[in-house]
Structure 1
Amino acid sequence: MRAFVITGPGTGEVLDVPPPVAGAGEVVVDVERAGVCGTDAEFFSGEMAYLHTGQAAYPLRIGHEWCGVVAAVGPGVDPAWVGRRVTGDTMLGCGVCPRCAAGRQHLCAGRFEIGIRNGWPGALAAQLPVPVRALFPLPDTVDPTLGALVEPGGNALRAVRGAALSSGERLLILGPGTIGLLCAQIAAASGVEVHLLGLPGPGLEFAGRFAPAWTAASLPDLRFDAVIDASNAAALPALALERVEPGRRVVYIGLAGEPSLVDTRTIALKDVTAVGVLSASGGLAGTIDLYASGAVDPRPLVAATVPLESVGPVLAGARSPSWGPAPKVHIDPRL
């Protein structure tokens, strides 16, 4: 089958690879749509931390935001799964360690991460193997574009839940990329007043379609009942702590390319709760419900859907002017 393979820093191509075979407790999915994100770009550039810690190695098959149709099942899997449209969790815990037993399988020390960690192949391919325990069925109202946005939406939903806001309260989101804008949509759907902060340019102008969008220089002096840092800027975690109302919450879901500094004295003196979010685990079912009901529609965040042959240029930062400023690019392996 055809799959996009990263063979080294800055090098990747579509290759013919052996198709997956469903093992015990697994299914094979025909991929309908897959998204690419900043993590994928870091694998392509060689900057991703897992490459330097031994948790990932070239050649690498990326892709962890996906949806598709179950084509085959392995031993012990109900044949009724065949033909069902699904998406799935990226984090595949061992299932037996204390973290997995406590429901924190996304933090399992021995976990696989689809398209990311310990060699589990990703979804930028015609087919994908997935443990049946990781699957989430998709209703007909969740089309392929929405289906491939469930994984980033699950991250955003967990971040919004971590902010612990009530209707009418005010949220500041740092970083108007895909996760930040999904946070904005999800929070607004629950009646929260949302504000976005980013760098000046087309991306921030696009973000203004979803909520008031500010630069650091123009951000008004408002009370923010929670702040979500969805950026990749090392200076913004401290700004999040500075701008949050005392006694409330700061949620950290963005990852900077270098260590960021936060003064823990400020956390203590403001009695702030700092919340970290890793992965969509725990947020996938809720995201599917939001999309299926129409309460949240993130499809405008997708700038283009392109074939596998376009993955390399996309990961290298190439964008067609015709795509506009929307942040997300999707891949259709069938094109």
Structure 2
Amino acid sequence: MRAFVITGPGRSEVVEVDPPVAGPGEVVVDVERAGVCGTDMEFLSGDMAYLASGDATYPVRIGHEWSGVVSAVGPEVDPAWLGKRVTGDTMLGCGHCARCRNGRQHLCADRYEIGIRHGWPGALAESLPVPAKALFELPDAVDPTLGALVEPGGNALRAVRAAGPRPGAPILIMGPGTIGLLAAMFARARGANVHLLGATPESLAFARELGFTDAWTRADLPAVPFDAIIDATNAQDLPAFAVDRVEPGGRVVGIGLAGEPSLVDTRRIVLKDLTVAGVLSASGGLGETIETYASGAVDPRPLVAETVGLEEAAEVLAGRRSGSAPKIHIDPRG
């Protein structure tokens, strides 16, 4: 089968590889859609932190946002999965450590991450091996595009849960990229008064097209008493900014990662009686994300600018964009 492989910083190719075989407890999924994100771009640039830590090495087959159809099942897997439309969790814990037993497999020290960590092959390929326990069935109302937006949506949903938005209360989401806009959609669906903070006129204009009229730069951000602030950026100074701007007793949620350490005065956190949370992965948010998409309460399809084939993946990862929407999808079959 064909697969997109990153062989080193700035080097990639579409190659023929052996198709996956479903081992015990696994299925094979024929991929219909795969999204690419900043993590994937960092693998191509060589800046991904796991490359420095040794948790990932070249060559890498990326792709952790995906949807597809189960085409084969391995031993110990219910054959009823055959033909099901599915997506799945990126984080694959060992299953027997204390964290996994307590339902926190996404924090397992020995976890695989599909298309990211410890060499588990990703979804920028015609087929993908996945543990059956990581699968989520997609209802008819969730098409392949929505299915490949479940993983980023689960991240955003968990950030919104941590922020705890109250109906009518103001919440600030910093960073109108894919995760920030998804968080804005989930917060709006819960009745919050959503404000967005961005850096470029283009990103703010796109946010307004999605109905988020309260879209600001730091220069014109009004003096609103924000109940909660979600940082979905990679800006080193914005976590401290969030701590300063949130109301006393409020919540600050970090889901973005800066390239360098972000310094925050913890005295401000204590004296303002703040709750500060970090979010790693969509684990625990995938099921509710699927239900929310299926109900129509959140429809993130406008976030996808275009869908291209594997041959165009390198250009996309190098920064090519089409229009103002932040997300590009890959159809490995094209």
What TM-score, normalized by structure 1, do the two folds share? 0.98
**Number of equivalent positions:** 332
Matches within 5 A, 1:136-147: 136-147=136-147
Q: Which residue does the alignment assign to 2:261?
A: 259
Structure 2 residue runs without a partner (length 5+): none
Residue 31 of structure 2 is aligned to residue 31 of structure 1: yes
Note the C-alpha offset of 1:209: 2.4
Match for residue 222 of structure 1 among 221, 224, 244: 224
Note the C-alpha offset of 1:22: 0.3
Q: Which residue does the alignment assign to 1:326?
A: 325
2: CA distance between counterparts of 1:73 and 1:205? 46
Tell which deviates more after alignment, 163-172 or 302-311. 163-172
Matches within 5 A, 1:98-247: 98-210=98-210, 211=212, 212-247=214-249
Matches within 5 A, 1:284-299: 284-299=286-301
Task: Check conservation: 2:165, 2:190, Cα contact below 8 A.
Answer: no
2: CA distance between counterparts of 1:124 and 1:21? 17
1: CA distance between counterparts of 2:167 and 2:21? 48
2: CA distance between counterparts of 1:200 and 1:97? 45
2: CA distance between counterparts of 1:25 and 1:185? 35
Note the C-alpha offset of 1:205: 1.0
The alignment yields a C-alpha RMSD, in angstroms, of 0.6
Note the C-alpha offset of 1:258: 1.1
Note the C-alpha offset of 1:201: 2.3
1: CA distance between counterparts of 2:165 and 2:327? 27
Q: 1:181-206 CA deviation, whole Å, 9 max, x = no partner?
A: 00000100110010000112211210
Q: Which residue does the alignment assign to 1:316?
A: 318
2: CA distance between counterparts of 1:287 and 1:79? 25
Q: 1:63-101 CA deviation, whole Å, 9 max, x = no partner?
A: 000000000000000111000000000000000000001
Q: Which residue does the alignment assign to 1:14?
A: 14
2: CA distance between counterparts of 1:255 and 1:207? 21
2: CA distance between counterparts of 1:262 and 1:299? 35
The structure 1 segments of at least 4 consecutive aligned residues displaced by more than 6 Å after TM superposition are: none
2: CA distance between counterparts of 1:49 and 1:187? 30
The residue identity in structure 1 corresponding to 2:219 is A
Q: 1:157-183 CA deviation, whole Å, 9 max, x = no partner?
A: 000000012211111001000000000
The residue identity in structure 2 corresponding to 1:234 is Q
Which secondary structure does the structure 1 equivalent of 2:209 belong to?
coil
2: CA distance between counterparts of 1:10 and 1:307? 19
1: CA distance between counterparts of 2:323 and 2:318? 17
Note the C-alpha offset of 1:257: 1.1
2: CA distance between counterparts of 1:23 and 1:34? 23
Q: 1:260-291 CA deviation, whole Å, 9 max, x = no partner?
A: 11111100110101000000000000000000
Which secondary structure does the structure 2 equivalent of 1:186 belong to?
helix
2: CA distance between counterparts of 1:204 and 1:151? 24
What TM-score, normalized by structure 2, do the two folds share? 0.99
2: CA distance between counterparts of 1:216 and 1:65? 31
